[in-house]
């Protein structure tokens, strides 16, 4: 009887989610279990998260690593949360798009659905910042992925949600990020 009761929960977590991200997903400045990926994994009865995020990662770095990660995890869904470090370095948007597009293509070829996570830059980056943010929407539309348009939107500009560097969210902000990612995953269209 206990096995029968346990079975639905076991079946519900059959969706494997690979997270390819940077320091925002690697729990920079926090213990791993405080980060949004670990919190989403603990909270969800549906998704099993596999975090392949690395602090300082760029879209080129993610592109170079995704093949091995897809082979290792064999995910149902890939979350791509990359580009902020590229943007801070002023990487040409065409190159960012090519890297993200390649990762999306590789993920889809491996049979996974994709959730692209949009990033923002500080407004002092001017026109580049607005074009950078818009590029995620264009990539998502062109390559037919799910889109979480502004990853840090739930935090607004309130200083209390950020570490001393004013870039990385504090532990108290991580549940907000986890909740929005889980909501975005639930909104992904079913596999074809």
Query: Which residue among the candidates 22, 23, 76, 140 is catalytic per the annotation?
Result: 23
168 is annotated as an active-site residue: yes
Query: What are residue 26's phi and psi, to 5 degrees?
Result: -95, 10
- Among residues 141, 157, 135, which one has the least CA distance to residue 83? 135
In terms of Cα–Cα distance, which of 78, 94, 76, 74 is closest to 86? 94
- The three-class DSSP label of residue 51 is strand
Largest pairwise CA distance in the chain: 62
The active-site residue, picked from 130, 140, 168, 186, is 168
Query: What does residue 129 show for φ and ψ, rounded to 5 degrees?
Result: -60, -45
**Selection from 55, 139, 49 nearest residue 103 by Cα:** 139
| 8 Å CB contact between 121 and 87 | yes
Residues designated catalytic: 23, 165, 168
């Amino acid at each position: 009887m206990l096995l029968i009761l346990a079975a639905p929960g076991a079946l519900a977590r059959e969706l494997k989610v690979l997270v390819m991200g940077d320091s925002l997903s690697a729990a920079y400045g926090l213990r791993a279990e405080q980060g949004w990926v670990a919190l989403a994994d603990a909270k969800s009865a549906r998704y099993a998260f596999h975090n392949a995020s690395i602090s300082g990662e760029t879209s080129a770095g993610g592109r170079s690593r995704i093949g091995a990660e897809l082979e290792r995890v064999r995910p149902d869904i890939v979350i791509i949360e990359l580009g902020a470090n590229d943007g801070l370095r002023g990487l040409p948007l065409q190159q960012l798009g090519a890297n993200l597009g390649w990762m999306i293509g590789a993920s889809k070829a491996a049979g996974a659905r994709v959730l692209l996570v949009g990033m923002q830059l500080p407004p002092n980056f001017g026109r580049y910042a607005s074009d950078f943010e818009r590029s995620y929407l264009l990539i998502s539309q062109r390559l037919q992925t799910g889109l979480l348009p502004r990853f840090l939107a739930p935090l607004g500009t309130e200083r209390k949600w950020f570490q001393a560097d004013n870039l990385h969210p504090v532990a108290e902000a991580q549940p907000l990020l986890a909740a929005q990612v889980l909501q975005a995953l639930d909104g992904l269209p079913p596999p074809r």
